[in-house]
Amino acid sequence: MLLTTFASNVDRIRQVIALAEKYGRKVAISGRSMENAVRLSIGLGYMKVPEGILIDMKKIRSVPDDRLVIISTGSQGESMSALYRMAFSEHRQVEIGPGDRVIISASAIPGNENAVIRVVDELVAKGAEAIYERGTDLHVSGHACREEMKMIYALTKPRFFVPVHGERHMLSKSSEMIRALGHDPRRILVGENGLTMEFTAKTARFGEPVAAGRVLLDGIGTGDVGSIVQRDRRQLAEEGMLVVVLTISAEDGSLLSEPDLIGRGFVFEKESERQTEELRRVTAESLAYCRAHKITDRAGIKARVKANLSGYLYKTTKRSPMIIPVITEV
């Protein structure tokens, strides 16, 4: 049997270990966060584990399946979690098959439903019995219900109320409930990422916003890749790139040879002489326009070539590759 839950749900892990002892099963722990949670809980005295119950994952093949319980990470369908790797046959020690029972003792966090169902589907496809939240009384939410929140409010008598951890509509519902209990609306703040709050002994208000959100890690850099670079990378990934090499006269800006076209990640028919000629024609017309309108600087010429080629390619292929004109003056 395999069970997954939140690694922070120490009491549920303790329950599973206690039941395993009662019914003569060994317990193996898989997943770094789960291993850390069990180790720290035992060390701090929050969890009493009988001698000989826990075994190393590397030794599970020496224990019959009907005498083994595996507690793993992956209750939210995380792609690098232990359960995910088991479901998709990527785990080193565990291979899911017919007769296995997998219990997902956790509610799907909003937004994770598809990931969880994907793992469940893969488990079922391998012949395992998957028991999860839908249609079962297996898991009770760790979040307080309305009446419990009212009790906490009555016991603590807070001066200010700031709901956190949830979607905006959830935070608003919490605020409405507190207002209904008679709390001063001026002392209720519903924030958002990046919005600071300033408190005094009697007042609360929003302060100046600060930068917040996802930080991109790129090589050894942290947050140093700007939005323009990210946009260019997305375009390259989705549409590809077309390099147009131009050799022009330094005297009058005329085209001295046919443009050389180099595509990367962009599909165009190299064998199609007609398409290639059309691209060269559009490029030549762009240069002729620049000469007629006395556009001689490289930036202006590149902009005209890029704009005309981009328009032509989108019209004929419905694609928008990154176009990089390269100019050589002779």
Q: Based on the fold, state whether residues 110 and 155 are members of the same structural domain.
A: no
pLDDT mean over 114-142: 86
Q: Based on the fold, state whether residues 204 and 97 are members of the same structural domain.
A: no
| DSSP three-state, residue 73 | coil
Question: Does residue 73 form part of some domain?
Answer: yes
For residue 269, what pLDDT is reported?
57
Nearest to 9 by CA among 138, 147, 165, 155: 138
For residue 104, is pLDDT > 80? yes
More confident residue, 62 or 330: 62
CA gap 330, 205 in Å, rounded: 65
DSSP state of 187: G
CATH number of the domain where residue 311 is located: 3.10.20.580
| DSSP three-state, residue 199 | strand
CA gap 185, 179 in Å, rounded: 6
Q: Based on the fold, state whether residues 37 and 124 are members of the same structural domain.
A: yes
Picking from 192, 209, 226, the residue at the C-terminal end of a domain is: 209
Query: At 108, is the pLDDT very low, low, confident or very high (cuts 50, 70, 90)?
Result: confident
User: Percent of the chain, pLDDT > 70?
Assistant: 96
The 10s digit of each residue's pLDDT in 280-312 is 899 989 988 888 888 888 899 999 999 999 999
Q: Based on the fold, state whether residues 198 and 84 are members of the same structural domain.
A: no
For residue 78, is pLDDT > 90? yes
Question: Does residue 67 form part of some domain?
Answer: yes
Our count of domains for the chain comes to 3
CA gap 294, 227 in Å, rounded: 34
Question: Does residue 216 form part of some domain?
Answer: no
Q: Based on the fold, state whether residues 155 and 86 are members of the same structural domain.
A: no
Question: Does residue 141 form part of some domain?
Answer: no
CA gap 3, 73 in Å, rounded: 9
CATH number of the domain where residue 113 is located: 3.40.50.10710
Other beta carbons within 10 angstroms of residue 136's beta carbon come to 11
Q: Based on the fold, state whether residues 72 and 16 are members of the same structural domain.
A: yes
Q: Based on the fold, state whether residues 205 and 242 are members of the same structural domain.
A: no
Q: Which domain holds residue 169?
A: 146-209
Alpha-carbon dihedral sign for residues 151, 155, 159, 162: negative
- Beta bridge mates, 261: 244
CA gap 136, 204 in Å, rounded: 43
Residue with tokens 């969880």: 116
Asked whether 4 and 74 are in contact (CB, 8 A), the reply is: yes
Question: Does residue 138 form part of some domain?
Answer: no
Percentage helix, strand, coil, to 5, in the chain?
Answer: 40, 20, 40
CA dihedral 170, 201, 203, 206 (to 10 degrees): -60
| DSSP three-state, residue 19 | helix
Picking from 101, 131, 161, the residue at the C-terminal end of a domain is: 131
Q: Based on the fold, state whether residues 292 and 185 are members of the same structural domain.
A: no
Q: Based on the fold, state whether residues 126 and 22 are members of the same structural domain.
A: yes
Question: Does residue 139 form part of some domain?
Answer: no
Asked whether 301 and 254 are in contact (CB, 8 A), the reply is: no
The 10s digit of each residue's pLDDT in 241-278 is 889 998 888 877 778 888 888 888 876 655 567 778 88
Q: Based on the fold, state whether residues 179 and 66 are members of the same structural domain.
A: no
Q: Based on the fold, state whether residues 184 and 243 are members of the same structural domain.
A: no
For residue 260, what pLDDT is reported?
87
Q: Based on the fold, state whether residues 258 and 185 are members of the same structural domain.
A: no
Picking from 90, 106, 131, the residue at the C-terminal end of a domain is: 131
Other beta carbons within 10 angstroms of residue 80's beta carbon come to 11
For residue 218, what pLDDT is reported?
75
For residue 120, what pLDDT is reported?
95
| DSSP three-state, residue 294 | coil
Question: Does residue 227 form part of some domain?
Answer: no
From residue 247, give the alpha-carbon distance in Å to each of 153, 171, 175, 194. Answer: 76, 62, 67, 50
Question: Does residue 218 form part of some domain?
Answer: no
E-strand stretches of 65-133: 68-72, 101-104, 129-131
